[in-house]
Each structure stands twice: as structure tokens, then as C-alpha cells.
Structure 1
């Protein structure tokens, strides 16, 4: 829990990291449009200082988190195009990713520490999707069913291998 004496530079640090995010592009852009106080005002997003309504660093933090969610969703579009060319599926999968991943973040972050082979399997999946896009450029099409099979196999293998080595 953050105390009242914390400045907004300290509060944007994630998991007690001493990173100074006051020079962050998103933070600077938000500060251009939204006047921000230098300290928290309890759990309020907006406060009145000297007769002027100002955002607290808590609101700025929420804005940064939301904008980073959008950046990650846009970043995942090529991966979705690796599976399908249907624009409806691409749009809805990214929409659901934005809406649902934050609620699963805690579960995923705690589970990732136990699954040591999941990250390499995700790397294999991303390599496969890149290779599939290169093949598609040269006119060789890999079916959606085959793509989903490779993705499911790689992720399942990473999870199972992690669980098997953990139990030993």
C-alpha cells in the first residue's frame, strides 16, 4: 500500500521497481491534456486544488494501464492474422483480449512462474506464425486447422513438460 508521502514518480513504478516514468511518452502526453497533482488525495481520481479540478496520479496510472492494453492488443494483430484472414475474427479476438486479459492477469502471472517451458513454447508458436506469414507471401497457404493444431500442440507441450519436470 502506498503512503501519503509518495510522489507520482514513485507510484508509477511497478512492483517496487525504482524506474522513473516521468519521462515516459504516455505520461507526458497525458500531462499535456490533463492537469495532474504531484501527490495522491486518498483513493480519488480527481481532486480540487486552489479552485481548479486536477487529476491525481492514480488517474494517470489508470490511463497508462489502459493505453498499454491498447498497444498490446494492436501488437497482437499480426499473430491473429497468422491464424485467420477473417477481419471479424481479428477484431473480436482483440476486443475480447482487451476486455478479458486483465482479469486473468493475476492467474497467468502466478502460473507463469511455475511453467518454466511455457515461454519457449510461446517462442516456437511466434516463430511458426512468422514462418507461416513468409510462406503465405510466396503463395503457400497453411490451413487454419493446421495452424491451430500447431499452436495448441506447442502450448500444450510447454505446459505438460513444465508440469512433468516440476513434479520430479
Structure 2
């Protein structure tokens, strides 16, 4: 009976596939926090690059397994989603760097914020992808709304350029400060600390800047998920491919952050490339309809996406190679 349950279909795939994926994710999180980062310390760029390479390799190996197990089209859809989500994560890195700077989070505690932030991301993405999958399965026209949204988002990214978000004026920060006690002083690795209330003189729990940074990291991911979830659904509606490609791309974000935050300006022209990718992904749904295609070819989608992002990376590195800043 138990073995039969493993082969039961759930969200389009056997239960054993989902359990296998979840087991890998849990093992990576335990290894990360329990082995690599038991002590709070600064992560150097070299270590960050090594860990990032490991996570990217694992994500690509999982994609190869998807290709072998499910076929070429699901494999290419996974790789396309993985590449798009990984590139979107670069923009997320920039916002996280602003959050850490605003709250003056010491480098040795930044990994702690990112780790718990990733746990929240895994849950939030599962909810959003579950809702998206339900909507698409019940109302196929929702895909056209997603596609139009991606096109508008891409055009908006090209139009606004590198306008920085205003962290200090964020309404979420003001709401949290009204809701709970917040202290402006850091207290080591603690998200909450017990101290005397300056008004009542009684002991009370206060949220530290570390917790406020965690809240903003989660909010930032919700905002970015509004782009990334429609993007992956415009590539494929398979919940397994959608969720696994998203999570594998996000898992390496912690490691990638410490390397990219030190050289984020070198990728100045990657954001316009990403905007073009979003416009392309949104447009291909309408193009497929105009050409009377059942689906836009996965190989073309992957090839065009890789070409645009690669061009953005190399153009950025070329333009910033002499000064280290956009010319």
C-alpha cells in the first residue's frame, strides 16, 4: 500500500518525485546551516563563488535528470525557467544589498538573515505557484494576462532604468514599527531581544534591525515573485517544473549574494537584457497563437533566453572592464 502511494499522481507527477525533490532541498538546507555555517562569520568572495558554483551545478544536474526522466521538452522548460529565475535573482541581490546597508547589518550576520529568508521564500513560492497553477488549470485565459503583465513589466524596466527603491519610506517598515516594539541597536545574532520599555520601564520584547532586515528581504521576494511566477508559467504550466526550477535557482541566492554584492556594478547592463527576456517570454504566447502553434518551441525559447542573457552579461563586463563602473 505504501509503495503504491509513492506512485500516486499529485499535481501531475508521482508523489516519489515530489518527495525526492523536497528531500534534496532539506538536505541542502541542513548542510548549509548545520555544517557550512554553524558559526556566524563573514563569507568571503572566494567561498561565495565556490558555493554558488556548487548550487548552480546541482540545479543543472537536476535539470539533466528532468530531461532524462520526463523528456527533452520538460528538460528545456526547466532550464529556461532556471536561467530566467537566476537572472531575476541578480536584481534581487541589489535590493538585498540596499536593505542590509540601510539597517547596517554586519556581514557576519547577513547569512543568517538570508538563510531564514530563503525558508520563507520556499513557502511563499509554493503558495503563489499553487494558486497560479489552480488559476491556469481552471481558466486558461489567465496565461494571456500573465503574458501581457510580463510585456508591460519588461517595458517598464527599460523605461525606468536603475531607479533605486526607497527603503526608509517603505510602508511595511512603518506598519511593523507601529505593530511591535523595535529597537535601533543591533544585539548580535538575535532577531528579538528583551529590554526595558523606555515608557513603562517594564521588560518587553523588541525586534532588532536584523528582524526588520528579514522582513524586508521577504517583502522583496514577494515583489520579485510577481514577475518570476508569471514568467515561468508563460514558459510551462507544469507545477513540478515551475516549482523545482524556481527553488533550485533561489537556493543558491545566499551564496551568490556575497560574490555579486561586491561587484554588482559590473552587471549594470544585465537589467535591460532581463527586461527584453520578459518581453520575449510574454510575447511568445501571442506569437504561438498567431502562428497557430499548440506551443512555442521549447528549444527556441531556451536558445533565445540564453542568447539575450549571455549578451547582457558580456556587454556589461566589456563596458565596465576599464573603470569598474558603467560608462
Q: Same fold (TM over 0.5)?
A: yes
- Aligned pair partner of 2:185 in 36, 40, 47: 40
> C-alpha offsets along residues 121-156 of structure 1, whole Å, 9 cap, x if unaligned?
222212211211323555543111110011011122
Q: Extract unaligned runs of 5+ from structure 1.
A: 1-10
> C-alpha offsets along residues 16-66 of structure 1, whole Å, 9 cap, x if unaligned?
x9x562x52322443455x22332143232221222222223212212212
Q: Which residue of 2 is the match for residue 7 of structure 1?
A: none
Q: Cα distance, 1:99 vs. partner?
A: 2.9
**How far apart, in 2, do the equivalents of 1:55 and 1:112 lie?**
30
TM-score, with structure 2 as normaliser: 0.40
- Aligned pair partner of 1:105 in 231, 234, 257: 257
Q: Which residue of 1 is the match for residue 107 of structure 2?
A: none
Compared with structure 1, are the counterparts of its residues 159 and 46 closer, same or farther at alpha carbon in structure 2 (3 Å cutoff)?
closer
Compared with structure 1, are the counterparts of its residues 118 and 26 closer, same or farther at alpha carbon in structure 2 (3 Å cutoff)?
same
Bigger relative contact order, structure 1 or 2 (CA pairs below 8 A, ≥6 apart): 2
Q: Extract unaligned runs of 5+ from structure 2.
A: 1-99, 105-163, 197-201, 323-327
Q: Cα distance, 1:89 vs. partner?
A: 1.2
- Name whichever structure is richer in helix by fraction: 2
Q: Which residue of 2 is the match for residue 68 of structure 1?
A: 220
**How far apart, in 1, do the equivalents of 2:259 and 2:173 lie?**
28
Moved more, 133-142 or 40-49: 133-142
- Preserved contact between residue 114 and residue 162 of structure 1 (Cα < 8 Å): yes
Alignment of 1:109-128 (within 5 A): 109-128=261-280
Compared with structure 1, are the counterparts of its residues 147 and 20 closer, same or farther at alpha carbon in structure 2 (3 Å cutoff)?
closer
Q: Secondary structure at the match of 1:154?
A: helix
Q: Cα distance, 1:158 vs. partner?
A: 2.4
- RMSD of equivalent CA atoms: 3.2
Q: Which residue of 2 is the match for residue 147 of structure 1?
A: 301
- The answer to whether residue 102 in structure 2 is matched with residue 13 in structure 1 is yes
Work out the number of aligned pairs and report it. 154
- Preserved contact between residue 37 and residue 55 of structure 1 (Cα < 8 Å): yes
Moved more, 135-144 or 38-47: 135-144
- The answer to whether residue 172 in structure 2 is matched with residue 26 in structure 1 is yes
